[in-house]
Amino acid sequence: QSALTQPASVSGSPGQSITISCTGTRSDIGGYNYVSWYRQHPGKVPQLMIYDVSHRPSGISNRFSGSQSGNTASLTISGLQADDEADYYCSSYTSTSALFVFGTGTKVTVL
C-alpha cells in the first residue's frame, strides 16, 4: 500500500504559523475520520499530537490543530517555537489493508 503524501520540508520563523498537508485517497483519508499526526524529535519516540482528524490529546498545546477536506488532511502549528523543529507524520486508517498507513514525513525547520 502506498504511503500518504506529505511535503518533504516546511519552514517558518518563530511566532509564525505553518501548515503541513497530507494527501491520500478515498480509501483512506477521504473515507474516514481517523487521521492522526505524530511528532518525532531526532532520536526520540514519536508523540501523538492530533487524533481523529482534529482532537488533541491531553497535554498537547492548542497551538496544534488538525483538519480534513476531501482526501487531504492538514496539521497547522501556530506560534511556531524552536521545540516544534522535528519530523511530523500523518497516519490514516485505510480500507485497503483494514489497518493504517503513515505519511512520507515532513521535516519542520524553525528559521
Partner 1 sequence: EVQLVQSGPEVKKPGESLKISCKASGYTFINYWIAWVRQMPGKGLEWMGITYPDDSDTRYSPSFRGQVIISADTSGNTAYLEWSSLKASDTAIYYCARPITPGRYYFFGMDVWGQGTTVTVSS
List the grid coordinates of 49: 499530537
In the complex, least distance from residue 10 CB atom to partner 1, rounded to whole angstroms: 15
Q: Under the rule (CB under 8 A), what is the footprint of partner 1?
A: 1, 3, 34, 36, 38, 40, 45-48, 50-52, 55, 57, 87, 89, 91, 93, 97-105
Q: How far, in Å, are 7, 27, 29, 72, 106 from residue 41 at the CA level? A: 17, 30, 25, 24, 12
In the bound state with partner 1, the residue whose beta carbon lies nearer, of 13 and 62, is 62
Residue type, 101: V
Cβ closest to partner 1, residue 11 vs residue 97: 97
What is the rounded distance in angstroms from the CA atom of residue 101 to the CA atom of residue 2?
8
Nearest CA to 29 among 66, 72, 60?
72
Tell me the three cell numbers of residue 101. 498507513
Min dist CB 74 to partner 1, Å, is: 16
To partner 1, the closest distance from the beta carbon of 110 in angstroms equals 21
Closest distance between partner 1 and the C-beta of residue 19, in Å? 20
